[in-house]
Amino acid sequence: MKDKYIPFYRTPITAKQIKAVVGTLKSGWLTTGPAVHMFEEKVSEYLGAKYAIGVSSCTAGLHLALLAAGVGPGDEVITTPYTFIASIEAIVHCGAIPVFADIDPETFNLSASEAEKKITRKTKAIMPVHIAGLPCDIPAFERLSRKYKIRLVHDAAHAIGSAHKGRKIGATPDITSFSFYATKNITTGEGGMVTTSNKEWAESIRILSLHGMDRHAWKRYRKSGNWYYEVTKLGYKYNLADLNARLGLAQFDEFEKMQRMRIRAAHWYDDALADIEEVILPPRDAESDHAWHLYIIRISCQKLSIGRDQVIERLTELGVGTSVHFIPVFMHPYYRKQYKLKSRDYPRSADVYKSVITLPLFPGIRKSEVAEVARRLKIVLAGAKRR
């Protein structure tokens, strides 16, 4: 184990899942079809959401969700600068203006109180992001939604399996978009899902996701289908394919098991890292179920002769794959210039960014691998202490 490379992620694909995908290949139906709709029903039932629509990515889902909620050119959407850039792209592609509010430094999630300060007459929606699988302060955001009559569009790319007070993310009243990217808690390779309780929004998203064609158009090549269809909206090519959905269905059969493995691994890390004074463990919320998509620690560098970046470099040299979640929006040249963003305007996000490291976490990671990550991190930190 001493010399073994521990990757940031290993995709847990089983023989059963491979067989399911091969079955779809043999079926002759590869694009949007019966497997997608079965997958939608499974996710909808699991979350307790009235409607679920499969899409090509979480980014596509966020874009469609914003459009369905009525966001358009000149509208403002409040969100966090501490997120992957896809959250912002979805806003910009609507012609809307992203407005940034700082985070809660304990959870890394968008602060409801900071978001409220940014609300104007142009504010059409707020987009909370559930970082790492830890739910944001949902009651606070729902109060803002009711008070100011603005929409909530949840970026739940990390949050399949998360819940607040027993209510799963995705069963909230407005719109939620999930990711099934390769590293997510459920994967379809590429793909996503939008959930909502609003029938009109659901129908709009379904139509927009496939070129604006009426919602039964996907059936036109089936025996019971009809060649005639109508385009009722200006749409997009955002549909999920059966080939992807079949993998998602097979993964979903093992989802609870995979979640237990993630939770167990997070506890292993807690125990293995508890005695390292420079390590701050990931945040928790007693009222929430954490999906543990990511295990993000903070490194306190006050007593170290190196910074976070050098810690990552030395872990890489020792054979540990890591990542950083996230590089804030104000650090990216395009967005910094386009929206005149300055890190000093978001001090909490800037401070958190400088200290975070995401450690390897995936179903199937062994306790010995977690212990080895911790051992190698201890070596790095011990060697960097100021004398």
361, two tokens: 């976490």
CA distance 74 to 53: 27
**CA distances for 51 relative to 62, 139, 225, 303, angstroms:** 15, 22, 23, 51
Give me the half-sphere count of Cα atoms (radius 13 Å) on the Cβ side of residue 304: 21
Catalytic residue among 16, 118, 147, 184: 184
Q: What angle do CA 196, 202, 204 make, to 5 degrees?
A: 145
Residues 6+ apart with CB under 8 A from 142: 152, 172, 173
CA distance 29 to 48: 29
Amino acid at 90: A
- Does residue 141 have a cis peptide bond before it, meaning omega lies within 30 degrees of 0? no
**42 assigned to active site:** no
Q: Work out the burial of residue 230: count CB atoms within 10 Å of its CB; fewer than 13 is exposed, 13-18 middle, 19 or more buried.
A: exposed
Closest CA to 182 of 127, 90, 105, 248: 248
Tell me the β-bridge partners of 192. Answer: 55, 179
124, two tokens: 């059409």
What is the DSSP code string of 51-102?
Answer: EEEEES-HHHHHHHHHHHTT--TT-EEEE-SSS-THHHHHHHTTT-EEEE-P
322, two tokens: 């890591």
Alpha-carbon Rg of the chain, whole angstroms?
22
Contact present, 96 and 63 (Cβ < 8 Å): no
As annotated, the active-site residues are 184
